[in-house]
Every structure is written in structure tokens, then in C-alpha cells.
Amino acid sequence: MGLRTKFNLVFILAFGIGMGLAAYLLYQTVQKNARDEVRQNAEIMMQGAQATREYTVKQIRPLLELQMKRQFIPNSVPSYAAQQNFAALTQQYPEFTYKEATLNPTNPKDRATDWEADIINEFRNNSERKELVVERQTALGPALSFAHPIQIKNEGCLECHSIPANAPATMRAVYGDSNGYGWKLNEVVGAQVVTVPMSLPLQRAKETFITFMAIQGAVFLVILIILNILLHVVVIKPVVKISDMASRVSLGEEEVPEYVKPGKDEIASLSASFNRMRRSLENAMKMLGE
């Protein structure tokens, strides 16, 4: 096995180990960044929904109190207002969803699905948990769901959800007396759930990873070519020249020119030592001939 082959094998092995480690770390980093981006988007949307709820309670609901006695107006309900506001966004971004999922909702549309019920029960079983992130597969690909608990902290909510008799007659006329009652103060009755698709950020992360690895591979190839050229010019070519001269001298050839490698590196030192040995050998042969 020649010197060039040994050098290339060692270099490729070392680079392969380094590239493998870099690939693992880079993949983990870009995947984490993609998930952080998705979560940040979900948090922004959650804050938007929360702002809509607060605005409805403070600004809209007081304006509609008198009309609510004659006709139930769902726009006065914070949950309805937040979900309707988010619905306008989903016209342009249908993959994004927001739902105030409830175990026992007034409006059947808000009833929690199985996976949403799991989130609600997690909040009910762990009162200290204030948010939950869930990744799951959907028909449109992987998605991240970001959830906040819906906890009854205001006794005013119980006017509509304690017992049917306390609820506005106009609301009961719309939704009946069967659902959305029996809520208690400080009870977690549901969860705000924002769902954001992960396919695009993960795809961008994958493309970034592939691009970086392709660039790294191209850099490796260029470095390998340059090092092989330097190896040939600086090491292999002079060594082959000296080896050829040594072979010719050992076979008794007398008209072998000296090889002088300029410089102060190891190859130059080797060529100088070989020339001294050759001259000593010639002098020794002459002395024996006399």
C-alpha cells in the first residue's frame, strides 16, 4: 500500500468521523430550531386569542348586556369571539386551527375530541401546569399543538354555567338546558388549543441540513485534492526520485547525478544525507580499487 493511499485512507476516516459528528449535531440543531419556530408562532397566536377574549369581556360584553336580555348574542361570549377572530386567519392559513375545547360545552362544536380531552385531563390532574405542547401526526402531516387550561376563576362565568335556572333565558333558548352546566369555581373545564403545522419548517430544516452537508462534502473534496497535490509535490515526488537514485547506485551505476532538494525541511535533509552517503560510498569504492 503506497504512501498516498495510506494518507487518503487516514484522512477520509478522520473526516468521516468528524462529518458524522457534525451531521448529528447539525441535524439536532436545525430540528430544534424548526420546532422552536413553530412553538413561537403558536404562542403568538395564543396571545392573540387571549387578547381577543379580554377585549370581549372588557369592551364588548358591557355594551350588549341590555340586548342579551331580549336576544342571545354569541359575540358577547369570549370563547366565541376568539374563535371567530381566528377563523378569519384560517381563510388564508387553513392549516392553522384554534379551538376552546371543553369537556361539557354549551355549544356542541366546542366538545373536546379524544386527544383534546387528554390535554384537558392533564391540566385537571396537574393544577400547576400552565401550558402543554403536543406533537402529533395529522392528515396534513406533523403538527404542534400548544395548549393553555381554561379554568373558572371568575364567578361571573358561573351565571351561565352553574345551573340552567341561573343562565339567561335567551341562551337557554338557543342551546337548551342539557350542556354547559355544572361548572365550579377554580375547575379546569377545557383548554385553549392552537395547532400549527410543522411540515414547512421541518422541510426547511431538512433542506438547510442537506445544503450544509453538501457544502461540507464539497469542501472536503477540494481539501483532499489540494492535499494530494501537495503530498505529491512535496513528499512523494522527491522520495521517489531519491529511491530511484538509490536503486541505480546499488546496481553499480556510476554516472548517477546528485539530487539536491532545496529548502530546510525533512526531504531536503534526506536528499543531503543521501548525497553524502553516495559520495562516501564512491570514495570507499575508489580506495578498495587502489
If asked whether residues 165 and 236 sit together in one domain, one would say no
> Quick check: 4 pLDDT over 70?
yes
- Is 4 a member of any domain? no
> Quick check: 121 pLDDT over 80?
yes
Average pLDDT, the chain: 83
The C-alpha cell at 94 is 387553513
- Is 173 a member of any domain? yes
- Is 49 a member of any domain? yes
If asked whether residues 162 and 262 sit together in one domain, one would say no
> Quick check: 281 pLDDT over 90?
no
If asked whether residues 154 and 285 sit together in one domain, one would say no
The residue segments making up the domain with residue 234 are: 211-289
- Strands (E) across 84-187 are located at 97-102, 132-138, 141-151
- Is 238 a member of any domain? yes
The pLDDT assigned to 191 comes to 93
The pLDDT assigned to 253 comes to 63
The reply to whether the predicted model has a pTM over 0.85 is no
User: What CATH number did the domain enclosing 188 receive?
Assistant: 3.30.450
SS3 (DSSP) at 190: strand
Q: How far is CA 286 from CA 106, 253, 255, in A?
A: 117, 14, 14
If asked whether residues 215 and 195 sit together in one domain, one would say no
Q: What is the mean pLDDT of residues 152-169?
A: 80
If asked whether residues 128 and 254 sit together in one domain, one would say no
Express each pLDDT in 29-55 by its tens digit: 999 999 999 999 889 989 988 898 888
If asked whether residues 143 and 270 sit together in one domain, one would say no
- Could you give the CA distance from residue 270 to residue 47 in angstroms, rounded to a whole number? 75
Range scoring the smallest mean pLDDT among 33-37, 172-176, 260-264: 260-264
If asked whether residues 198 and 249 sit together in one domain, one would say no
SS3 (DSSP) at 146: strand
If asked whether residues 202 and 219 sit together in one domain, one would say no
If asked whether residues 231 and 193 sit together in one domain, one would say no
Which of 182, 206, 230 finishes a domain?
A: 206
- Could you give the CA distance from residue 113 to residue 223 in angstroms, rounded to a whole number? 57
Q: Give φ, ψ of 188 to 5 degrees.
A: -85, 110
C-alpha triplet 118, 101, 97: angle, nearest 5°: 105
> Quick check: 131 pLDDT over 70?
yes
The pLDDT assigned to 86 comes to 86
- Is 246 a member of any domain? yes
Query: Quick check: 196 and 144 in contact, CB under 8 A?
Result: yes
If asked whether residues 29 and 159 sit together in one domain, one would say yes
| Domains in the chain, number | 2
Continuous segment of H or E residues that includes residue 182: none
pLDDT band at 125 (very low <50, low <70, confident <90, very high): very high
Express each pLDDT in 192-233 by its tens digit: 999 999 988 888 899 999 999 899 889 989 988 998 888 887
Closest by CA to 79, choosing from 59, 114, 97, 105, is: 105
> Quick check: 3 pLDDT over 60?
yes
If asked whether residues 239 and 136 sit together in one domain, one would say no
Q: What is the mean pLDDT of residues 88-117?
A: 88
- Could you give the CA distance from residue 247 to residue 252 in angstroms, rounded to a whole number? 9
- Is 225 a member of any domain? yes
Closest by CA to 43, choosing from 204, 201, 193, 197, is: 193
Q: Where are the alpha helices (DSSP H) in 56-157?
A: 61-68, 78-90, 114-125
If asked whether residues 270 and 143 sit together in one domain, one would say no
Express each pLDDT in 56-95 by its tens digit: 888 888 877 777 777 888 878 888 888 888 888 778 878 8
pLDDT band at 243 (very low <50, low <70, confident <90, very high): confident
Q: What is the CB-side half-sphere exposure of residue 132 using CA atoms within 13 A?
A: 25
pLDDT band at 258 (very low <50, low <70, confident <90, very high): low
Which of 164, 183, 206 finishes a domain?
A: 206
